[in-house]
Structure 1
């Protein structure tokens, strides 16, 4: 019976590091031919179409009704400088937000890894102290490792404005009509301690609430003699780094590009593309229509990329792959936890190259 339990626990799953965050398959369609799944054509279709139709109207009036409507083409370079500067600023700012958000997520994942490693390696008693842990200590350590993983999910959902912990104990909330748990959040509700009460309705974010539980565990570990003072300080510093990174992600999420810049950018883009038909109609005639369509497609496309990257924590194809990154970290930490449980139960001598040797 014991051997079969060991075998079940050590059945290898078909996975590998970064399995969920990495691209699963090669691209079958060249990117130049892609018009969906990550493209921004749906965002810019209407403005490109409107500018093309406006150009058709201008060419028709120029050729058949009002005579020459053309303006000197020298007006285009002066306007294009302004348009280019505004688009460069918008895209660089948006990508900086994307890159900063990705680095902050890495900081959170690294902190969770370091805390899990520190907790599992040090959660044991020396042979002089009798060896072995009590059932309460094992459950306490397992609970806090699961809480560490839950912090990442809580960060993800909070950044997506998916506030979800009801102000009643989780163990009873499933039957409560006042605060039902959404099934879409079940991916990490099982990681939370039984009886946990949420305070999001009072303004306390769940990630910060969970870090209090982790800090309390460090205090208990210090009292049990698992961590000395420098170790406890280092573990607390990891929690501080995690909270700091989460705060930076909140800043990105809650601070959009100033509306004055967005308004002026939209107006300048529209003005430039509305003047372009007048500057090209005399020289190109009906060819002005595809020229304006290509220019508007290019400029509005660049602006559309900035819109996509401005808030990188959503579900879009161009957002940070938070689901896969967090799932990879969860897989890593859960493997560590299972190995620790086997060692804590006295099975370390049966594992080839076991990680935990108590």
Structure 2
């Protein structure tokens, strides 16, 4: 019996990519990059600060009567606060829903992979699978993992199955998509130019395998029905993620929010110039920094499927699930080839 090939394991653990935390070199209060929203708000903060400088200068050295009653600030701040609370709650709900949907898809892939691998065995006890049956099962497991990649890329508007040149080395490093392409069945033709998303196309291959497994008597009727429910749940979760991706916050709300924020921060210098003089400049800058920062957080969370630091860690989550499923596939392959004693804990004996 041939020895099991020796592989160099890279250090890993469950959820290693999705839950990785680097040690913080600086406290968060001192961080102005890598996750911060300062670049989104620096221009409005500077403009409002400059406007305050002009107001204070005119009040002190030209007109002398630009001040407004300070009581105007509380009435405006209530409106601003309500709008910002609504915006951030809506944006975080989109973020949280997207994360839960991705978990639903990952769970469906795990469940289906587990059932497929455990159920794929010879018709009689001790009988080995045929080469065609083994190849069919390996293909569908790879398709399951490919669904995760297809969902990720479609939500990022990275459509089409690229040509072979897309997996070439770039600067000596294989592109991130190379692993994804290797999971797709040979000769797979995409129909995205006709409006068919690749995730849905791949679920058809999974459903076809369930039918073949039922005909091979690998699954009984209720079991096959339950697996179809898993596929339906996967498609439903992807549909909800598509809804988040394709349904932005209504433009009327965005316009009014921007106008209310600008109005409030333009009125604030007039309400503070009499009491604070030149101190009104840093006061307005701090208020503008706070309010526009809250709005900037909502902008970051509104579409959580991209590459920003504050987006869902889709790359890490997909990689963790891929690694789990591929380890299961490797152990199943050993058991199917008659090397059961080499498989981890005899999972597929």
Length-normalised TM-score, structure 1: 0.93
Give the corresponding residue for 1:199: 191
Structure 2's unaligned 5+ residue stretches are 169-174
Please point out which of 164, 179, 187 is paired with 1:174.
164
Please point out which of 40, 45, 67 is paired with 2:42.
45
Structure 1's unaligned 5+ residue stretches are 167-172
**Distance in structure 2 (CA, Å) of the matches to 1:348 and 1:199:** 41
Q: Using a 3 Å threshold, how does the CA distance of structure 1 residues 65 and 300 change in structure 2: closer, same or farther?
A: same
**Distance in structure 1 (CA, Å) of the matches to 2:96 and 2:336:** 40
Give the corresponding residue for 1:169: none
**Distance in structure 2 (CA, Å) of the matches to 1:304 and 1:77:** 23
Task: Answer yes or no: is the 8 Å Cα contact 1:164–1:185 preserved in 2.
Answer: no
Please state if 1:278 is matched with 2:270.
yes
Task: Answer yes or no: is the 8 Å Cα contact 1:276–1:292 preserved in 2.
Answer: yes
Please state if 1:2 is matched with 2:6.
no
Cα RMSD after superposing both structures: 1.5
Please point out which of 213, 216, 225 is paired with 2:217.
225
Please state if 1:158 is matched with 2:154.
yes
Larger mean CA deviation between 268-277 and 21-30 belongs to 21-30
Give the corresponding residue for 1:141: 137
**Distance in structure 1 (CA, Å) of the matches to 2:337 and 2:13:** 26
Task: Answer yes or no: is the 8 Å Cα contact 1:165–1:181 preserved in 2.
Answer: no
Per-residue CA deviations over 1:215-255 (Å, capped at 9, x if unaligned) read 00000000001000011001100000000000000000000
Please point out which of 118, 123, 147 is paired with 1:121.
118
Give the corresponding residue for 1:347: 339
Please state if 1:93 is matched with 2:85.
no
**Distance in structure 2 (CA, Å) of the matches to 1:35 and 1:174:** 41
Per-residue CA deviations over 1:270-306 (Å, capped at 9, x if unaligned) read 0000000000000000000000000000000000000
Hey, which bits of structure 1, 4+ residues long, moved more than 3 A? Answer: 180-184
Deviation at 1:184, TM superposition (A): 5.1
User: Aligned residue pairs: how many?
Assistant: 343
Give the corresponding residue for 2:316: 324
Give the corresponding residue for 2:286: 294
Please state if 1:20 is matched with 2:10.
no
Task: Answer yes or no: is the 8 Å Cα contact 1:142–1:337 preserved in 2.
Answer: yes
